[in-house]
Amino acid sequence: MELPLVQVKNLKTHYPIKGGLLNRPIGAVKAVNGVSLDIQAGQTFGLVGESGCGKSTFGRSILRLQHVTAGEVQINGKDILGLDRQELVKARADMQIIFQDPYGSLNPRMTIRQIVREPLDTHKVGEKADRDAEVMRLLEICGLRRSVADRYPHEFSGGQRQRIGIARALALKPKFIVADEPVSALDVSVQSQVLNLISHLQKEFGISFLFISHDLAVVQHISHEVGVMYFGELVERAPAEELYAAPKHPYTQALLKAIPQPDPGREKEQVPLTGDIPSHNDPPKGCPFQPRCPVAKPECAESKPPLKPVDVEETPSKHLVACWLY
Amino acid sequence: MSEENISTGRDSLWSKSRRKLMRDRAGVAAMIVVGVYGLIAILVYLGLIGENWSTLGEEGFGGMSSEHWFGTNINGQDIFSRAIQGIKTAFEVGLVVAVTATAIGGILGAIAGYFHRTIIDEVIMWLYGCIDAIPFYLFVAAVAFSLKGTELQPWGMHIAMIATFWSSTCRIVRGEVIKIRGLEYIQAAKAVGVGPLTIVRRHVMPNTTHILLVQSTIAFVGAIKSEVILTFLGLGVVDGVSWGTMLSESTSDVLRGHFGNFLGASGFLFVLVIAFNMFADALQDALDPKKVSS
Amino acid sequence: MSESTSKPVLSIQDLVVEFKTEAGLIRALDGVSFDVQEGEALGIVGESGCGKSVTALSILKLIPSPPGRIAGGSIKLDDIDVVNQPDDEMRKVRGSLASMIFQEPMTALNPVFTIGNQMVEIIRVHQKVSKAEAKRQAIEMLRTVNIESPEQRIDQYPHELSGGMRQRVMIAMALSCSPKLLIADEPTTALDVTVQAQVMEEINRLQREMNMGLILITHDLGVIAESCTRVVVMYCGKIIEMAETEELFRNPRHPYTRGLLDSIPRIREKKLETLPIIEGMVPDLANLPKGCRFADRCPKAEDHCRESEPPLEDTESGGKVACFIPN
């Protein structure tokens, strides 16, 4: 089997909670608490979870936009966490990011041309004169007219800004892109346009994506594999078809049921979950989902279930779940 | 309104701000008044007008005439000429203080903000905390006295004002930079591999210039007012003439029923301060990126 | 629904709302008319800038003015003529006759007062009761929206509550004076899916129990399908389709409605290669095309669609649609 393009092992990103009279660390927010995953070249991994589950922190951590506490990240054969500053700058050409907020992700005082050119200038790609032509090419790939180049971000709608952000991310011909909720701030009719653009880019250029979203429905069409995060940890991970057809973890099942369906005739589902995501100040014992879990057993509160393959017969199984039920 | 697509053509936030400023009638009027003052200041500086401010006349307290528009003072000197000399003095102090104080405040603020939560930030915050804790006029008096008799004496007032005026700019810029630092376009630049100094120069500083502009207008007015007060108290301008000099002369004039000095100096000061404040408000409205970009 | 038996709590006729912007005068609402019956749940759906939130604000006369202004039409809220009602009279109407919940409960709650403080204040604006009595009512309201141990919660500050809990508090506040109409503007958009389901369930239950009129404003047709009996679809400040929920989802008449329904992200049996989309983007309100506002994005548009604007006309199935060539 081919070596995966992205390999993350046991990644941990903790923030200290400071308090007390001397403002000393008194605890830690375990935003990402031991997540492992790998992404094959040219494939998309959909990472799903609710706000505060650590999915964005994870995305930023593996690109080293965020201080990482422990773990190992290999992207395109490079040990990302071990690179020195100059090597890291070089490695950035291979890994890029697309952001959620189409308003905050573009510098309001720069023209579109300057924004998309910045990566090319920073890495001194080609001759200066050729870079403008490259900018035009990138804009066209992303479905923008050449005439937009000398305008400013505030003149564009959310969807167009998101395309500009994608053009910037593509500039260095990266092998891997983290897409951090790239469509959740957009209107429905524009969401699908951007999703189609991303899956087109993936096929055209063979880019691997880590697609982060809070919405399982958005991730379905774009992902080869899907992981569900809860409270800083992966609770389930499976090839996309399998996850949607046979979700195992009670949390994944609840997430799927909670999506409002545009089908008025449908028998209304019972509200699948009660309560809220636990607090980092007072993390639950055992399985983090246990206080909200409709099928929790007494032993769930005692120890944390590991992420392990569900089906032992099929070797090697790609469907992993962290639940004592399996 | 949150309408996404209201765009009006190809322009930067700067040109949008300029258009917005030009539509503000009170702002434009104020700008013209300030411009006229500025023009007079330049002409005086070049020695083209008002150079006879120190010429002694035959008799004191002359009334208004075609020769002396505002009359003359106790020494027979032309009050109008002295008043427009006062414009020059005011602009000199205002410009020096505003530019220097805002530059220092802007740079320190940007550094403190970018290195938020480090020792650098702590030191800068401690510094402006100390400065802010000293009552302003006490501080100026202390500086002025300590520089008395040294070469720096004529600059004592400037130094004191610069040393105090930078702190408000610093505080505001620091706050803004802390906000900008968390924005995604900074993350995007980092993700591309742009170095920290380039990020500050290209992405952080340009997004604080609107604050610097507004802050410098505020510092300008503040400096002019303080200059007049300090000179009035004898701590300010030593050679040359200022509205403060005229006002301090007028304290005895007024008792004798001569209002030329008083009206000349306070009239000029009043109009300038009002106009400048209105201009600063208009500028603030026009430059506010939240209002401009919506 | 039978229009003869119930009388409308809200009746909007030809509402026009204008905003002054840099680009000139724009019409955020251009001739909007609809009714809400007692006990009816009406959904208003559309994308950003379509005027759905402006409609909600107009009903309570909360349009920021300037730059906005109600330029024409009428709003009848249970026999009260909202457009010509003086502001101090409107203040009494808000909260008692009709109240509103917003997308972001954190910004709608005052962070420096406990939720109890804020609830008591609202109750005492509309009813002459003692503080103790108002507090008792507030606790009762919190219990109604299924907040556990309301006696303790009432002394907490907004930041001590989770997003879902805050939205429940907002609902409790909105309902504390038993309004006849509840306007919910994207009430669950800021919440997570699992919490969203709980909050919507709460709104639906209370609406039925209190027999209120409900206007649910959202961009999410999925939420509408589960909670509303009738739907209004808006585009660029106009109503382009209006129908019973089941009818609208089964048989959307306007091409825009069809496009919206198709582009909702949903779990499908089979993965799609490309998702269905609506081409292009919403036109600039300051620079609207001649003719139908959707024509430029419409797959079916013909020449005359770009010449004149289609009126909102009755369909044979009891709804209304503004299209020359409806499906």
pLDDT tens for each residue of A91-102: 999 999 999 888
Plot region of C271 (φ>0 → left; ψ -120 to 50 → alpha; else → beta)? beta
* For range B285-294, the mean pLDDT: 62
Residue C95: how many other CB atoms lie within 10 Å: 20
Architecture in CATH for domain C10-97+179-321? 3-Layer(aba) Sandwich (3.40)
Q: What band does C91 get if pLDDT is binned at 50, 70 and 90?
A: confident
CB contact under 8 A, C192 and A51: yes
Between A67 and C107, the higher pLDDT residue: A67
Q: Is residue A287 predicted with pLDDT exceeding 70?
A: yes
What are residue A13's phi and psi, to 5 degrees?
-130, 110
**Tokens encoding C283:** 């036109």
Domain extents in chain C: 10-97+179-321, 107-178
Q: Which of C197, C261, C276 sits opposite A258 (nearest CB)?
A: C197
Eight-class DSSP state of A3 = P
Q: Note the pLDDT of residue B80.
A: 84
Cα–Cα dist A220/C265, whole Å: 9
Q: Tell me which of A79-83, A180-184, A280-284, C49-53 is least confident.
A: A280-284
Helix axes A112-122, A158-170, angle to 10 degrees: 20
Q: What band does C7 get if pLDDT is binned at 50, 70 and 90?
A: confident
Q: Note the pLDDT of residue A313.
A: 63
Q: What band does B9 get if pLDDT is binned at 50, 70 and 90?
A: very low
User: Who's near A276: CB < 8 A, 6+ residues apart?
Assistant: A292, C162, C163, C164, C165, C195
Q: Is residue A179 predicted with pLDDT exceeding 70?
A: yes
Q: Note the pLDDT of residue A176.
A: 96
Cβ-contact C310, C322 below 8 angstroms: yes
Q: Is residue A316 predicted with pLDDT exceeding 70?
A: no
Q: Note the pLDDT of residue B1.
A: 34
* For range C307-315, the mean pLDDT: 91
Report DSSP letters for B195-229, one per residue.
-HHHIIIIIIGGGTHHHHHHHHHHHHHHHHHHHHH
pLDDT in tens, C251-279: 999 999 999 998 888 888 777 778 888 88
pLDDT in tens, A18-54: 766 667 777 788 899 999 999 999 999 999 998 888 9
Q: Is residue C90 predicted with pLDDT exceeding 60?
A: yes
Q: Note the pLDDT of residue A102.
A: 82
Q: What band does B293 get if pLDDT is binned at 50, 70 and 90?
A: very low
Q: Tell me which of A81-95, B140-154, B257-271 is least confident.
A: B140-154
Mutation target among C217, C284, C296 for the B interface, most CBs of B within 10 A: C284
Residue A106 to residues A169, B44, B200, C199, Cα–Cα distance (Å):
12, 47, 15, 34
* For range C312-323, the mean pLDDT: 91
The percent of residues above 70 in pLDDT, for chain C, comes to: 98
**C241 to chain B, closest Cα gap in Å:** 21
Q: What band does A264 get if pLDDT is binned at 50, 70 and 90?
A: confident
Cα–Cα dist B191/A65, whole Å: 7
Strands (E) located in chain C: 8-21, 24-37, 41-45, 68-77, 80-81, 98-101, 181-185, 213-218, 230-235, 238-244, 313-314, 320-321
Averaged pLDDT score across all residues of chain B: 84
CB contact under 8 A, A259 and C266: yes
Question: What is the b/e burial string over C167-201, where b = at least 16 CB atoms within 10 angstroms of the residue's CB?
Answer: bbbbbbbbbbbebbbbbbbbbbebbbbbbbbbbbb
Chain length of chain A: 326
Q: Note the pLDDT of residue B116.
A: 87
| Nearest Cα residue in chain A from C270 | A241
The percent of residues above 70 in pLDDT, for chain A, comes to: 95
Q: Note the pLDDT of residue C281.
A: 82
Question: By a Cβ cutoff of 8 Å, what residues of chain C touch chain B?
Answer: 19, 21-23, 26, 28, 48-49, 53-54, 67-68, 281-286
For residue B92, give the 3-state DSSP assignment.
Answer: helix
Q: Note the pLDDT of residue A269.
A: 64
Residue B241 to residues A240, B52, B61, B82, B244, Cα–Cα distance (Å):
82, 12, 18, 7, 8
Q: Which of A63, A101, A156 sits opposite B191 (nearest CB)?
A: A63
Q: Note the pLDDT of residue A267.
A: 67
* For range B195-223, the mean pLDDT: 90
For residue C293, give the 3-state DSSP assignment.
Answer: coil
**Interstrand relation of A24-39 and C230-235 (parallel, antiparallel or unpaired):** unpaired
Sign of CA dihedral B200, B203, B205, B208: negative
Q: Tell me which of A190-204, A215-229, B65-79, B169-183 is least confident.
A: B65-79
Q: Tell me which of A222-231, A251-260, C193-202 is least confident.
A: C193-202
Q: Which of B5, B7, B20 sits opposite C49 (nearest CB)?
A: B5
CB contact under 8 A, B184 and A90: no
CB contact under 8 A, C284 and B2: no
Cβ-contact C197, A271 below 8 angstroms: yes
Give yes or no for A226 touching C (CB within 8 A): no
**Tokens encoding A93:** 């050409």
Q: Is residue C114 predicted with pLDDT exceeding 80?
A: yes
Cα–Cα dist B227/C129, whole Å: 59
Cα–Cα dist C286/C28, whole Å: 9
CB contact under 8 A, B194 and A109: no
For residue C294, give the 3-state DSSP assignment.
Answer: coil
Cα–Cα dist C254/C322, whole Å: 7
Q: Note the pLDDT of residue A116.
A: 95
* For range C159-183, the mean pLDDT: 87
Cβ-contact A155, C284 below 8 angstroms: no
**A122 to chain C, closest Cα gap in Å:** 33
pLDDT in tens, B212-240: 999 999 999 999 998 898 888 887 777 77
Q: Which of A92, A107, A151 sits opposite B185 (nearest CB)?
A: A107
Q: Is residue B291 predicted with pLDDT exceeding 60?
A: no
User: Who's near A1: CB < 8 A, 6+ residues apart?
Assistant: none
pLDDT in tens, C172-215: 888 888 899 999 999 888 888 888 888 888 899 999 999 999 99
Between B5 and C30, the higher pLDDT residue: C30
The percent of residues above 90 in pLDDT, for chain A, comes to: 57
**Tokens encoding C94:** 């808000």
Q: What band does C2 get if pLDDT is binned at 50, 70 and 90?
A: very low
Q: Which of B183, B185, B194 sits opposite A122 (nearest CB)?
A: B194
Cβ-contact A33, A232 below 8 angstroms: yes
Mutation target among A154, A176, A186 for the B interface, most CBs of B within 10 A: A154
Question: By a Cβ cutoff of 8 Å, what residues of chain A touch chain B?
Answer: 60, 63, 65, 88-90, 92-93, 95-97, 99-101, 104-111, 118-119, 122-123, 150-152, 154-158, 165, 168, 171-172
Give yes or no for B13 touching A (CB within 8 A): yes
Cα–Cα dist A53/A277, whole Å: 8
Q: What band does B7 get if pLDDT is binned at 50, 70 and 90?
A: very low
Q: Note the pLDDT of residue B294.
A: 37
Q: Is residue A289 predicted with pLDDT exceeding 70?
A: yes
Q: Note the pLDDT of residue B5.
A: 37
Q: Can you name the residues that pair with C80 across neighbouring β-strands?
A: C77
Averaged pLDDT score across all residues of chain C: 88
